[in-house]
Structure 1
């Protein structure tokens, strides 16, 4: 039985959540269902790519700020028009507007997905507790996210499920790690340049490594609201030779694969796709012990976990790793082996279809 599914995102421009839409599209052959995509806000690089692949994409161009009546109204009209039988919302804004709209027009299967551990106020927790009443299930992309949803009382335990994010590692087949050949201690970072991702602390840690005469090179791949702050800090600390601010790249693996270590210094994190991608390249990882990182990294075997990600804590960990850098190739191989097949996109698509089908049996997706 073919079911029409619509995946709702806040935007479809660029970023980890948006790229998730591309992963779904590129692996849709694992599903027999009909897939649509929708952005509450604007489209962009991802929506254009989705259309090139051949998927229907709708960009509502609404603010998506909670609450936005226009978003609910326009999404309600779209759901009625395309007659979706399953709605799958990704992220807080999409969950709020999508689940309300889907309940109003009686979409038979309504799925929310939380992509991180939100910093909700008491009022926000109450609001989302009410919103999730309109859902049949809420997916947490890691055990840490799912447990938070339950412990915060936003989602009843019977509704919360964990399905890991899919990570496409096919690009790593053409890459190899060669970080230590030129004598530099090469560090990689990929992600949005936002406060929660903590890139400034990593740059300051590089400055501390430089002070200890470590021949360090940091590649910062990504863009965001803190790009200018990163540029200013590099100038202030005279790190033009040690830090390369790459900006957005559609091939971050080409930078990560040449590194000795990949660092995720986040203050909060839901899963950590970039961590898995780095490990898939055979690169050891260092990450703050937040979100899904402890579920991905086997401390001391495939990488390292730290409790804090202030500059000094990052420096201490990186200096110790550099001091024992002869062990990095072996740890990188262990990292690569540990993620092989574990987060396959095909398995993710099958898990989603199984969830949709199990819920559909309790409803009437043909009605």
Structure 2
């Protein structure tokens, strides 16, 4: 008999955590005896699910009553909740259904004794397993030692060959796309700090007045970014491309990717760039130090370090080619899709087995 797994998220968009959930579903339903339902708020994610033949069950809000309505309708064997809010709500909505909490980022409140950190700790009493995309989440959580026995550090599912194929498709579809020197790829929101990226490009422009940059993504800081670009007189240099279903064709033609995040979970976009031979410059937060090294990019602690490294990559083609070659090599080391899916299956099987004995 096929088992039912619900993946539940407190968003309606398509970004990092959503990509992980979709990847798990697409790979596991072909190899194992599971049926999946994707549960979230309404939004662009509905189209993503429909395009991938995944059952989409919308909820009005992330509340206990809504989650219980979904449970009553689908009768899942396991609930796989992504990030903190969904984990807390699901843990308080179920009885005798295993809950997996999958944490994709290390929000600042993790480091504090506050309502949110206490709420998650109490919810862990009804959570069977906690998956964390980097060890920094466990190390920075103020109650990390109390949940260590339930926790597993597991990166993100990485299929570099799928990313490379998407890049080829993207190039064919948009064969007349302009070529950019630098790419920013992520939500225009506080964790990604897009304003800092614009400030860095403003400094680089002093040496490279014709530099071409693309910012791919949408978010609550979009208007602020538009105003800052105008204030810095960089309309000619920086293009805001909005959300792109397949940004990999543009990324593959760029010289580098810059990540200016204040905090991160894993940092999947860095691996995606490395898969395409694109050097990555990033802040040393979350899982990024485990992905990026000086051979394939650079970890930059301040704006000056970003500017120096950007200028060197733009100026020195030999230096860039060496970093690009090593980016491919690093991506091959990080490729893990089959191993990752096997680990998730093992966790599912263990939780279902434990439930049958209770």
- Give the TM-score normalised by the residue count of structure 2: 0.89
Q: Which moved more, 1:82-91 or 1:337-346?
A: 337-346
For structure 2, list consecutive stretches of 5 or more residues without a partner in the other structure: 172-178
Matched, 1:82 2:81: no
| Residue 22 of structure 1: aligned partner | 22
Contact 1:30 1:349 (C-alpha < 8 Å) held by counterparts: no
Contact 1:146 1:161 (C-alpha < 8 Å) held by counterparts: no
Q: Determine which of 139, 154, 163 is the counterpart of 1:147.
A: 139
The verdict on how the C-alpha distance between 1:322 and 1:264 changes in structure 2, with shifts beyond 3 A counting, is same
Q: Determine which of 139, 144, 147 is the counterpart of 1:156.
A: 147
| Residue 48 of structure 2: aligned partner | 49
1:256-305: CA deviation from partner (whole Å, max 9, x where unpaired):
111111111101000111111111111010110000001111x2211111
CA RMSD of aligned residues (A): 2.3
| Residue 58 of structure 1: aligned partner | 57
1:228-253: CA deviation from partner (whole Å, max 9, x where unpaired):
11111111111122111111111111
Classify the secondary structure of the residue corresponding to 2:226. Answer: helix
1:304-330: CA deviation from partner (whole Å, max 9, x where unpaired):
11223xx44422332343343422122
Please give the alpha-carbon distance, in whole angstroms, between the structure 2 residues aligned to 1:174 and 1:97.
35
The verdict on how the C-alpha distance between 1:11 and 1:160 changes in structure 2, with shifts beyond 3 A counting, is same
Please give the alpha-carbon distance, in whole angstroms, between the structure 2 residues aligned to 1:152 and 1:77.
31
Contact 1:23 1:168 (C-alpha < 8 Å) held by counterparts: no
Q: Determine which of 295, 298, 301 is the counterpart of 1:301.
A: 295
- Give the TM-score normalised by the residue count of structure 1: 0.87
Please give the alpha-carbon distance, in whole angstroms, between the structure 2 residues aligned to 1:154 and 1:56.
37
Please give the alpha-carbon distance, in whole angstroms, between the structure 2 residues aligned to 1:49 and 1:61.
18
The verdict on how the C-alpha distance between 1:341 and 1:36 changes in structure 2, with shifts beyond 3 A counting, is farther
Contact 1:128 1:154 (C-alpha < 8 Å) held by counterparts: no
What is the deviation of 1:154?
7.2
